[in-house]
Amino acid sequence: MPSPLGDFSYTWPFLVAAIAGYLLGSIPFGLVLTRLAGLGDIRRIGSGNIGATNVLRTGNKALAALTLLLDGSKGAVAVLVAAEMGPDMAVLAGAGAVLGHLFPVWLRFKGGKGVATGLGVLLASAFPAGLAACATWLAAAALFRYSSLAALLAFLLSPLYAWLLADPQQAQLAAFIALLVWLRHHANIRRLIRGEEPKIGKNPKHS
């Protein structure tokens, strides 16, 4: 029987990958950037979300674009750095990064909805599948003008893209991220059903 120390010596790199991914993902770039720009607390603007869509509601398109880039990059960086230690590490770091963005320890576990970070993880872990998910988001956003619906459709299809264009492990990661994104969008789903979800460019009063 292996000793507990031996078990830990095997598992600790996986724990480090997951925790490091979580800490990187939990950096609230939307909040940091809006404060640095003198726009106040993004959580008190629009929907109250810390992501790029809500940053756009400040009227600062450049800041929103930078938030989108940084939120996506932190997911991609987590995967790419951990990938140096193996594919399993990359998967754990990517999942941790999305969890960190959704539930950042610095903000009492009240974070964003994981769209940009999730797409960044998918692009870094399975580029063709991530690219297909991004294309789905763009097409759905252009067609329906609902950012939330575009995200829901993109992540709903992402496990299929990963299965067809990557491998089962990446499909499992995509499915895990899709589940988190869908759960985090529960309020948006209810508003979509009621026909109350604001379209892209609108400034909602709810989150």
**What pLDDT does 182 receive?**
98
Closest residue by Cα to residue 186 from 158, 151, 160, 159? 151
Which residue matches tokens 């499992």?
172
Q: For the purposes of burial, counting CB atoms within 10 Å of the CB of 23, is it exposed (0-12), middle (13-18) or buried (19 or more)?
A: middle
Please list the rounded mean pLDDT of every run of 10 residues in the chain (207 residues).
53 92 97 91 84 87 95 98 95 98 94 96 98 98 95 98 97 98 96 91 54
CB of 102 within 8 A of CB of 51?
Answer: no
Closest residue by Cα to residue 24 from 66, 74, 68, 73? 74
